[in-house]
Structure 1
Amino acid sequence: MMNFQTTLTTSSLVLTECAISERLRRDEGVRLHPTLFNTPLIYDSNGRKKLAEIYLQYRDIAAQASLPILLCAPTWRVDRTRLAEAGFDESLLTDAVSFMREIQAKRVDSQSAVYVGGLIGPKNDCYKPDESLNADAAEKYHGWQIDRLAAAGIDCIVAQTIPAVSEALGMARALSSCGIPALISFVINSKARILDSTPLLDAINHIDSQVKNPPLGYMVNCVYPTFIRAQEQEPELFQRLIGIQANSSSLDHSQLDGAAILHQDDLQHWGENMLQLNRKFGVKILGGCCGTDGYYLRYLTEHINAR
């Protein structure tokens, strides 16, 4: 199997997962941890089964379409501080990666590679950029988790739902020296600005210019696909913006955060906007975020060749 970086270079489309913890949150038979979310479910027989079912659903959709897929271990914001406060140690990170390797081994298909990623997230609220760390603090804070994910042998590290350039820069510094391919994924608003008000291209150029080994590329997540405003962007953006995990709803974050009701726009509208990002602008990594499930991923695979 090719490594993740080579696959990303040679493939026109790489799938990634749709919602995981957000789906589990709406399952009455599952109780998420208050700070570690879905990660401790790997130690619970029912929770482990539910997690595996969701991951394997996404994996099977990729296999049916003969497409590679990046599936990320449930390690988002499982950092040293939260682990200690919750009474866990760093073995939770290693065990989460081992769980994903089991998922990988259950469905081996030479035409559809599975890559195991490790997630990291912002220290504080992903929708409140004023709570973000500065670059120096972020490099130190996130370096601990990055080092342990790298040691666990993941294929890629994804820094996800980042609301400010300062914290993303510190993450990029720590990722630069870890020896593992990395992606940084921002939360943006409907004007294609990161939540700290920085235009997307400016943020990417700033980080690339400040880091010795920049990330493989950048993504956005927890946004609707139209938020990128692709038609208005400089072509330069899409040399580095290579992925999106999109919400099912076009509502903004203040309307969606903690919503009791599942908000979903028209699936076809979501899907066609996603596919346009791939076909016209070369955004290679496509997946879903809040409100999405297997139906959304399958729409992409069933319509990718339609024109």
Structure 2
Amino acid sequence: MMMTKYRSKLPQTQGQLFLTDGGLETTLIFHDGIDIPHFAAFTLLADKAGRDHLRRYFLRYASIARAGQTGFILEAPTWRASPDWGAKLGYSTEALTKANADAIWLLEEVRAVCQSAEMPVVISGCIGPRGDGYNPAEIMSEEEAQTYHSLQVNTFANSAADMITAMTITNVPEAIGISRAANAAGIPLCLSFTVETDGRLPTGVSLRTAIEAVDKATGNGPAYYMINCAHPTHFTKALASGEPWLRRILAVRANASRRSHAELDNAENLDAGDPVELGREYAELRALLPWLTVLGGCCGTDHRHIEQVCEHCVIEA
């Protein structure tokens, strides 16, 4: 295993505020005009032009964090770099493993350029769901999920990654399998569920039930939880109870759009929402959950949204 910087003590779990990036895939497709099949941003790692583009993307967000005097989390462009999606793109197991490792090496290069004593930079290996991020379709058993996700988990565990972030997870068994894989590999995990407009997972399970089920099955395996790929108006009510389980949520990466997952799936154009309004909504979330320490964006968000999140949650706070 390579030397890691923060794996033994993630600074975002110690109360320091961190920013991260916005919606990488929607930015690449709709703003940059880059064709990434199956939302697979990791394919850009295959050539110098793609790697240079990713560097510029991450450094732009790092500059926002520097201006806001926050920490920064570099999230690997590997949401789709798992076996089933890799196979659809013609990647062998060996090529897929290399792509995941290359993603961390790229982030090491970016961190070397942008980190400072005032701005700690955490490197995270990103994994996504086996199926569609909006629709769980066939749900794996916990054991199947642990086996399936172990390729990425183990690759990141043997790299300089400080942690793993599992994004857009739609169901509890898959979440448990991912957590067990991370625990077995000895690498911290941020586990992120996505929710529908009613604040529940696509399977109909409540956030509370999902988080408590994963914690019970894994001995509080995840370092912390996140909500991503939903608009704040979809889940704010679910966070208003003041109950103890809410303390496990330290991060939010919301969508720019108020549309449902089904509406976004069928949309032909990008709905970027209102960056200023989103910034205010993040401030309201932090008032509700003042222990939130990681703020970023998901589908439809770009640097403008993160600038407004920084403005409302950091500069004006």
TM range (shorter): over 0.9
1:118 corresponds to which of 122, 125, 130: 125
Structure 1 counterpart SS, 2:86: helix
User: Residue 222 of structure 1: CA displacement?
Assistant: 0.7
**1:109 counterpart residue number:** 116
**1:41 partnered with 2:44:** yes
* Contact 1:128-1:195 within 8 A present in 2 as well: yes
AA of the residue aligned to 1:191: D
1:288-307 equivalences in 2 (<5 Å): 288-304=297-313, 305-306=315-316
1:249-288 residue CA offsets vs partner (Å, 9 max, x unmatched): 1111001125321113222221111122123312221100
* Contact 1:130-1:196 within 8 A present in 2 as well: no
**1:21 counterpart residue number:** 25
In structure 2, what is the Cα distance between the partners aligned to 1:233 and 1:2? 36
Say if 1:204 and 1:16 are closer, same or farther in 2 by CA, change over 3 A.
Answer: same
1:69 corresponds to which of 56, 68, 72: 72
**1:31 partnered with 2:35:** yes
AA of the residue aligned to 1:38: A
User: Residue 101 of structure 1: CA displacement?
Assistant: 0.8
* TM-score, normalised relative to structure 1: 0.93
1:207-226 equivalences in 2 (<5 Å): 207-212=214-219, 214-226=221-233
In structure 2, what is the Cα distance between the partners aligned to 1:213 and 1:66? 31
User: Residue 229 of structure 1: CA displacement?
Assistant: 2.4
* Contact 1:133-1:166 within 8 A present in 2 as well: yes
User: Residue 35 of structure 1: CA displacement?
Assistant: 4.2
* Contact 1:77-1:121 within 8 A present in 2 as well: yes
Structure 2 counterpart SS, 1:131: coil
1:212-291 equivalences in 2 (<5 Å): 212=219, 214-230=221-237, 232-257=240-265, 259-282=267-290, 283-291=292-300
RMSD, aligned CA: 2.0
User: Residue 16 of structure 1: CA displacement?
Assistant: 1.6
Number of equivalent positions: 306
User: Residue 157 of structure 1: CA displacement?
Assistant: 0.2
User: Residue 2 of structure 1: CA displacement?
Assistant: 7.0
Say if 1:28 and 1:7 are closer, same or farther in 2 by CA, change over 3 A.
Answer: closer
In structure 2, what is the Cα distance between the partners aligned to 1:161 and 1:254? 15
* Contact 2:80-2:128 within 8 A present in 1 as well: yes
**2:100 counterpart residue number:** 93
Say if 1:150 and 1:101 are closer, same or farther in 2 by CA, change over 3 A.
Answer: same
In structure 1, what is the Cα distance between the partners aligned to 2:82 and 2:153? 9
Moved more, 35-44 or 290-299: 35-44
Q: Extract unaligned runs of 5+ from structure 2.
A: none
Say if 1:222 and 1:157 are closer, same or farther in 2 by CA, change over 3 A.
Answer: same
AA of the residue aligned to 2:177: G
Structure 1 counterpart SS, 2:165: strand
**1:202 counterpart residue number:** 209
Say if 1:264 and 1:102 are closer, same or farther in 2 by CA, change over 3 A.
Answer: same
* Contact 1:155-1:181 within 8 A present in 2 as well: yes
Identity %: 30
Q: Extract unaligned runs of 5+ from structure 1.
A: none
AA of the residue aligned to 2:13: T
AA of the residue aligned to 1:3: Y
1:169-227 residue CA offsets vs partner (Å, 9 max, x unmatched): 11111112111111111110122111111110111001101113510111111100122
AA of the residue aligned to 1:47: G
**2:169 counterpart residue number:** 162
**1:57 counterpart residue number:** 60
Say if 1:301 and 1:195 are closer, same or farther in 2 by CA, change over 3 A.
Answer: same
In structure 2, what is the Cα distance between the partners aligned to 1:39 and 1:147? 17
In structure 2, what is the Cα distance between the partners aligned to 1:77 and 1:107? 26
2:146 corresponds to which of 111, 121, 139: 139
